[in-house]
């Protein structure tokens, strides 16, 4: 048999959701986990190790036909060390740098003639962007962490002293809504997007997605897809990427890139012929990409996010109520401890009655997280 071994660095829920399509296709997965209790390590073959110990990562990587990632917290030197040994790593160090370094990303978008907000590098001194503005850590931020709303020059200076390294500062946009385009590209250069997704945020974290975006013009939607395809080619992406975009009137302005399967694409597990997780495996293995058509008029996804509560946080008991209430509800458990602000699962509903889908999804996530009393 010549079925390949794909190594995944990271064993959170994104790696967990790669497991079912790998089982279907007969692709062997092995994870580099930080702990055997990690979401995906509970149900897939893995080694436990530390990403700062390059030798142990290399030893593991040599057992894989291709190595990929499920999060951004990968030292660049590690990726380069694997590449130097001839280990196939996707996305490559160079592509991945645009996901890891927000200054590089902004410069690349400008190079590609794609729409950035006004931005500049801040290392103290005068700024040409008016307050309030957005300041971002150049590396290491996600889910709203490392992103700061700054009202004055004094605040900016204080933040800079605290962080003690250059910041990316950006104009604060009064956007109408936020969307994301998921795109996949193989080393062959074959690329495909899914229908752009509306991402509804609360406290800097995505709470619900709606696909396709309701009431968006065909022109705007296809412009968003075109941006994602241009970036994928421009950075020589191999794998799946999320392009987060602000919509301001009929303008599209790029917010963030994530070079991995992403929360904005979870709906594709049931909502598309090919899920983002299967597509990621196909792309890094240089297999032909699958069809990204939707299988229903609308797919609504809701994140189950831990809240402050004195309840036990039992996530299984709500199944009785939720499955009885809506037999079409698709539940995904990440098997992580419930903690305030942490994504511990998601639910998806497909159908055509958008108002109903959205309210059912909202009910389900509130019920699972314990926000609704029983």
Footprint on this chain of a second copy (rule: CB under 8 A): 1-4, 16, 19-20, 23-26, 43-44, 273-274, 282, 287-291, 293, 295-296, 314-317, 319-320, 323-324, 327-328, 330-335, 345, 350
> What DSSP string describes 137-148?
ESSS--TTTTEE
* Vertex 357: Cα angle to 354 and 359 (nearest 5): 110
Q: Positive or negative, the Cα torsion across 111, 116, 120, 126? A: positive
Output 4 or 341, the one with its CB closest to a second copy: 4
Output 262 or 332, the one with its CB closest to a second copy: 332
Closest approach, Cβ 349 to a second copy, in A, equals 10
Closest approach, Cβ 286 to a second copy, in A, equals 9
Closest approach, Cβ 131 to a second copy, in A, equals 46
Closest approach, Cβ 270 to a second copy, in A, equals 8
Closest approach, Cβ 283 to a second copy, in A, equals 12
Output 134 or 283, the one with its CB closest to a second copy: 283
Q: Which residues contact 52 (CB under 8 A, 6 or more apart)?
A: 75
Structure tokens of 236?
A: 């020589």
Output 100 or 272, the one with its CB closest to a second copy: 272
Q: How far apart are CA 114 and CA 227, in angstroms?
A: 7
Output 121 or 311, the one with its CB closest to a second copy: 311
| Whether 51 contacts 72, CB under 8 Å | no
Q: How many CB atoms lie within 10 A of CB 309?
A: 12
Q: Which residues contact 126 (CB under 8 A, 6 or more apart)?
A: none
């Amino acid at each position: 048999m010549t079925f390949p071994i794909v190594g995944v660095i990271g064993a959170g829920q994104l790696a967990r959701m790669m497991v079912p399509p790998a089982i279907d296709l007969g692709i062997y997965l092995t994870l580099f986990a930080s702990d055997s209790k990690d979401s995906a390590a509970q149900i897939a073959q893995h080694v436990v190790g530390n990403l700062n110990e390059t030798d142990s990562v290399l030893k593991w990587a040599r057992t894989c036909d291709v190595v990929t990632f499920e999060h951004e917290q990968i030292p660049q030197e590690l990726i380069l060390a694997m590449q130097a040994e001839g280990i196939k790593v996707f996305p490559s160090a160079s592509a991945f740098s645009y996901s890891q370094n927000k200054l590089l990303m902004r410069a690349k978008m400008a190079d590609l003639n794609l729409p950035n907000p006004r931005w500049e590098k801040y290392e103290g001194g005068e700024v040409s962007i008016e307050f309030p503005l957005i300041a971002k850590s150049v590396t290491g931020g996600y889910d709203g962490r490392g992103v700061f709303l700054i009202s004055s020059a004094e605040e900016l200076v204080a933040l800079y002293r605290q962080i003690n390294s250059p910041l990316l500062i950006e104009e604060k946009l009064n956007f109408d809504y936020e969307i994301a385009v998921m795109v996949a590209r193989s080393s062959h250069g074959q690329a495909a997007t899914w229908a752009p997704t509306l991402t509804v945020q609360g406290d800097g974290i995505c709470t619900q997605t709606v696909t396709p975006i309701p009431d968006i013009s065909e022109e705007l939607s296809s412009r968003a897809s075109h941006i994602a395809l241009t970036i994928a080619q421009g950075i020589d992406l191999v794998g799946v990427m999320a392009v987060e975009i602000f919509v301001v009137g009929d303008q599209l302005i790029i917010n963030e890139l994530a070079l991995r399967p992403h929360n904005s694409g979870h709906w594709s597990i049931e909502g598309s012929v090919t899920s983002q997780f299967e597509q990621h495996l196909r792309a890094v293995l240089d297999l032909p990409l699958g069809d990204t058509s939707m299988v229903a008029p609308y797919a609504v996804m809701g994140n189950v996010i831990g809240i402050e509560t004195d309840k036990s946080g039992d996530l299984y008991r709500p199944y009785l109520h939720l499955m009885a209430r809506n037999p079409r509800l698709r539940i995904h458990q990440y098997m992580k401890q419930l903690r305030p602000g942490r994504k511990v699962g998601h639910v998806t509903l497909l159908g055509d009655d958008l108002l109903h889908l959205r309210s059912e999804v909202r009910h389900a996530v509130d019920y699972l997280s314990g926000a609704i009393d029983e």
